[in-house]
Amino acid sequence: MSSKKGKKKGNEKYRNQQQSARDDVANDVTGEFADEVVDNVADEITGEVAASDGFPEQPANSKVIFPTAKSPEQELEELKGRFQRLAADYQNYQKRSHKQIDQARQFARDDLARSLLVVLDNFEHTLEKGREIESVQALLEGIRIVYDHFVDILTGQGLKRITVEKGMAFDPNLHEALLHEPSDEYAANTIIRELSPGYAINDRTLRPAKVSVAKAVQPEPQQPEQNWENGQVEQTE
């Protein structure tokens, strides 16, 4: 009951002050700017009343929008709803991303397999003709043609052979050391020879090159000298 009386009292005070302001201004201001001045002054009084006695009852034709207070429980429920929608959107995004990645991988495999079908056809043709060819050199030439075509296809997919040269420094990102051989000719931790080629695709190592790596030659230990006169072994410096 006390809150309703206070609200009613505030509304009456609001209406009286607004009407009084309109009458005072209307008596002093005339002309085409009178209505605009009256509205501005009325808006100022509306703000004062709202600050002093709480928000009055909003008139039906008023353009002033008073905020509506929300309880902590309502704000908490709204935040929970936002987080739930955000989590659902993120899960849907992950599903779409995984699906797109799988489709891209499948398309890449399809393209590579489609391009290799030509190589398969050429090999079958070479094997069929090889039964009729008497010259081994002609057969090797046909295999060489198929091999070059195969390499061109892989090169078009971004594949390239890792360069290996004797004496170059060993790089664990590009090379795999299968042997360590002592060498006077090559410095330690340098490549002596290539054992198996390596390949990279789009500057990423697909298979490291297997190599033999040089290591420093260890000096032979000195053998102790024997003194045969007294039957004792003497150590030499």
Contacts 24+ apart (CB under 8 A), 198-202: 198/161, 198/162, 198/164, 198/174, 199/159, 199/160, 199/161, 199/162, 200/159, 200/160, 200/162, 200/174, 201/157, 201/158, 201/159, 201/160, 202/158
Residues 193 and 213 sit within 8 Å (Cβ to Cβ)? no
Residue 64 is predicted with a pLDDT of 56
> Is 81 a member of any domain?
no
Residues 159 and 199 sit within 8 Å (Cβ to Cβ)? yes
> Is 34 a member of any domain?
yes
Residue 73 is predicted with a pLDDT of 84
> Is 220 a member of any domain?
no
> Is 118 a member of any domain?
no
Q: What is the CATH number of the domain that holds 209?
A: 2.30.22.10
> Is 62 a member of any domain?
no
Structural domain boundaries enclosing 17: 2-53
Count how many domains the chain has. Answer: 2
Spell out the residues 6+ positions from residue 175 whose beta carbon is closer than 8 angstroms to its own: 162, 164, 191, 198, 208, 209, 210, 211, 213
pLDDT along the chain (237 residues), means of 10: 50 57 51 50 48 50 62 86 91 92 88 88 85 82 90 90 93 94 90 94 92 85 61 51
